[in-house]
């Protein structure tokens, strides 16, 4: 059963990254349908102003919009990203790489990492990252687009971007406006609801203007103006699993060479990111306020930078969790208004993209159907929870000695994650369920990187002749190393891409 009338006026509340990504996609796919798309934002309130790391599905979003990569690189100060280097997460000084893309190639149908597990005691095998094209290229600071030839190791390169999320929002604002979206500047001070259906009918601005709509997309950030404040959809707090609730951020001078990866360094009560952009480096320290004072967190951040600061430190507060529903009545929340997970695996912008794509996939026409709304909510739960669990894994599996790390090591895990870890401890098996974002190579890299050791490898790996396995491993390693030498430095590749398009 559908409630409400035809969806002719879509009102997006908020013009941060979520608002403009939504406006860009809706104007691209619905712009020609005679529907009116309006975005309201308030310069006085501003945006959260952070966000720099992304993951490979962002390529699909940009492609769907038909964005020109060179223009995107130039306008958002973007660099290429091949993965994340984790430093000190198991013990001080230890490091591992969470690569984008595959690890090695299967042999007789046996996943490569199982062959690696079987032989890792052999001194010549080296770290798992030596068998990922993306990780090998990242270690050499090199980058190129993947080769279209599946036989070429370079076909296994997988990438995303580091960019300035605010600049991305503005880039998409120009796109959305060019595709017919209208922008209204103003602060919303009131929300009108239909007494019977509970549908939001209009929002009222400070200057008495009234903006009516049939469908409202709440992109109002942590305020969650419509979904949280007006419709009172509860917030499910996940801070017992993810206790970090503060961040301090600061920009520093650009580093040279430009590195095609994020670095995430564990700190006594949290962790610190370093994200190289074309014009500066983004840095931030995420920490748990119950275990560390704000001043101490800022002192750690500023004293461990690679280069001098170029801005004043900024402090932010948050709580990990999500609204129990993302779509209630005729309000769909996308972005921080719908939930927040710390940026450890750069997943917030992806969850925005996912929310938009699912909304387009279930877009209402003659009113809003409760079954489609329920389906949307089901998808969003299925998207958030595995990402949450993936982030928890980094905290739980650690061997650090500080009280914060001892505390997170002793937490009771979500059941699904507990199962995943126990299963991995047996024969290194990982399976991907439902809409899970992270694929098997990601789980394997982080499980092993965080020191979760299977007690044995897959028996199918031990069934293969040892000499054949060792030969395949050695050949693959050489192939990745040789292929990386053919690549340009990441900074040269970016400069050439931008210059060629001018």
Ligand X SMILES: Cc1cc2nc3c(=O)[nH]c(=O)nc-3n(C[C@H](O)[C@H](O)[C@H](O)COP(=O)(O)OP(=O)(O)OC[C@H]3O[C@@H](n4cnc5c(N)ncnc54)[C@H](O)[C@@H]3O)c2cc1C
Catalytic residues: 81
Selected range binding ligand X among 144-152, 263-271, 346-354, 465-473, rule: CB under 6 A: 346-354
**Among positions 41, 75, 298, 458, the unique one binding ligand X when judged by CB under 6 A:** 41
Selected range binding ligand X among 74-82, 302-310, 335-343, 420-428, rule: CB under 6 A: 335-343
**Among positions 104, 153, 221, 449, the unique one binding ligand X when judged by CB under 6 A:** 221
Report how far apart, in Å, the C-alpha atoms of 92 and of each of 173, 268, 277, 398, 407 are: 43, 10, 27, 10, 17
**Partners of 9 in the beta sheet?**
36
Q: Does 23 contact ligand X by CB under 6 A?
A: no
- Tell me whether residue 283 is exposed, middle or buried, using C-beta atoms within 10 angstroms of its C-beta: 0 to 12, 13 to 18, 19 or more: buried
336 or 359, CB closer to ligand X? 336
Q: Does 50 contact ligand X by CB under 6 A?
A: yes
Q: Looking only at residues 286 through 325 of this chain, which bind ligand X when binding is defined by CB under 6 A?
A: 316, 318
**Among positions 7, 158, 165, 387, the unique one binding ligand X when judged by CB under 6 A:** 165
Q: What's the CA gap between 99 and 135, in Å, rounded? A: 5
Q: Does 62 contact ligand X by CB under 6 A?
A: no
Selected range binding ligand X among 109-117, 221-229, 364-372, 417-425, rule: CB under 6 A: 221-229
Q: How many residues does the chain have?
A: 502
- Binding pattern to ligand X, positions 107-146, x when CB under 6 A? ----------------------------------------
* Exposure string over 214-248, b if 16+ CB within 10 A, otherwise e: bbbbbbbbeebbbbbebbebeeeebeebbbbbbbb
Report yes or no: 461 and 113 within 8 Å, Cβ to Cβ: no
Q: Does 335 contact ligand X by CB under 6 A?
A: yes
User: Cα(first)–Cα(last) distance of the chain, in Å?
Assistant: 53
Q: What's the CA gap between 451 and 31, in Å, rounded? A: 50
Selected range binding ligand X among 170-178, 215-223, 373-381, 445-453, rule: CB under 6 A: 215-223
Neighbouring C-beta atoms of residue 361, cutoff 10 Å: 11
Give the nearest distance from C-beta 199 to ligand X in angstroms: 19
Q: Looking only at residues 401 through 440 of this chain, which bind ligand X when binding is defined by CB under 6 A?
A: none
Helix axes 466-485, 112-119, angle to 10 degrees: 110
Q: Does 84 contact ligand X by CB under 6 A?
A: no
> Coil, helix or strand for 234?
coil
Give the nearest distance from C-beta 452 to ligand X in angstroms: 25
Q: Which residues contact 417 (CB under 8 A, 6 or more apart)?
A: 389, 392, 393, 396
Instruction: Verify cis geometry, omega within 30 degrees of 0, for the bond prior to 257.
Output: yes
4 or 15, CB closer to ligand X? 15
187 or 478, CB closer to ligand X? 187
**Among positions 65, 125, 247, 457, the unique one binding ligand X when judged by CB under 6 A:** 247
Q: What's the CA gap between 378 and 59, in Å, rounded? A: 25
Q: Half-sphere exposure of residue 244, counting CA atoms within 13 Å on the CB side?
A: 27
**Among positions 27, 47, 90, 134, the unique one binding ligand X when judged by CB under 6 A:** 47
**Among positions 90, 132, 330, 348, the unique one binding ligand X when judged by CB under 6 A:** 348
What residues make contact with ligand X under the rule CB under 6 A? 14-19, 40-42, 45-48, 50-54, 165, 187-188, 219-221, 223, 225, 247, 284, 316, 318, 335-337, 343, 346, 348-349
């Amino acid at each position: 059963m559908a409630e409400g009338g035809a969806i002719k006026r879509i009102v997006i509340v908020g013009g941060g990254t979520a608002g403009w990504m939504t406006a860009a996609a809706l104007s691209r796919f619905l712009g020609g349908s005679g529907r009116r798309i309006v975005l309201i934002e308030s310069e006085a309130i501003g945006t959260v102003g952070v966000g720099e790391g992304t993951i490979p599905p962002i390529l699909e979003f940009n492609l769907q919009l038909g964005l020109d990569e060179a223009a995107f690189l130039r306008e958002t100060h973007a660099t290429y990203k091949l993965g994340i280097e984790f430093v000190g997460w198991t013990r001080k000084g230890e490091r591992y790489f969470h690569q984008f893309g595959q690890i090695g190639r299967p042999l007789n149908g046996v996943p490569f990492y199982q062959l690696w597990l079987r032989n890792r005691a052999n001194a010549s095998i080296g770290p798992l990252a030596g068998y990922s094209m993306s990780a090998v290229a990242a270690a050499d600071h090199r980058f190129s687009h993947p080769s279209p030839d599946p036989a070429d190791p370079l076909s296994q390169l997988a990438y995303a971007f580091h960019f300035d999320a605010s600049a991305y929002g503005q880039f998409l604002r120009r796109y959305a406006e060019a595709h017919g979206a209208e922008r209204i500047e103003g602060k919303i001070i009131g929300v009108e609801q239909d007494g019977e259906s509970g549908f939001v009918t209009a929002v009222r601005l400070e200057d008495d203007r009234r903006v009516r709509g049939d469908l409202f997309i709440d992109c109002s950030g942590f305020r969650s103006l419509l979904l949280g404040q007006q419709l009172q959809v509860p917030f499910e707090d996940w801070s017992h699993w993810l206790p970090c609730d503060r961040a301090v951020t600061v920009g520093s001078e650009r580093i040279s060479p430009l590195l095609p990866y994020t670095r995430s360094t564990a700190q006594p009560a949290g962790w610190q990111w370093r994200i190289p952009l074309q014009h500066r480096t983004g840095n931030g320290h995420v920490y748990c306020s119950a275990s560390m004072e704000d001043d101490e967190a800022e002192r750690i951040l500023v004293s461990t930078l690679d280069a001098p600061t170029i801005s004043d430190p900024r402090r932010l507060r948050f709580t990990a969790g999500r609204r129990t529903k993302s779509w209630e009545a005729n309000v769909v929340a996308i972005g921080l208004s719908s939930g927040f997970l710390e940026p450890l695996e750069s997943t917030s912008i992806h969850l925005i993209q996912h929310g938009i794509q699912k909304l387009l996939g279930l877009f209402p026409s003659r009113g809003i159907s409760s079954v489609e709304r329920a389906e949307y909510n089901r998808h969003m739960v299925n998207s958030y929870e595995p990402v949450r669990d993936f982030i928890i894994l980094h905290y739980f599996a650690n061997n650090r000695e500080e009280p914060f790390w001892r505390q997170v090591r002793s937490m009771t895990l979500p059941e699904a994650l507990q199962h995943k870890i126990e299963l991995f401890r047996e024969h290194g098996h990982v399976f991907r369920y439902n809409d899970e974002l992270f694929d098997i190579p990601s789980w394997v890299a982080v499980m092993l990187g965080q020191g979760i050791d299977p007690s044995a490898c897959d028996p199918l790996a031990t069934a293969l002749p040892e000499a054949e396995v060792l030969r395949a491993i050695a050949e693959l390693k050489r192939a990745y190393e040789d292929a990386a030498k053919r690549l340009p430095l990441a900074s040269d590749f970016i400069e050439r891409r931008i210059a060629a398009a001018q």
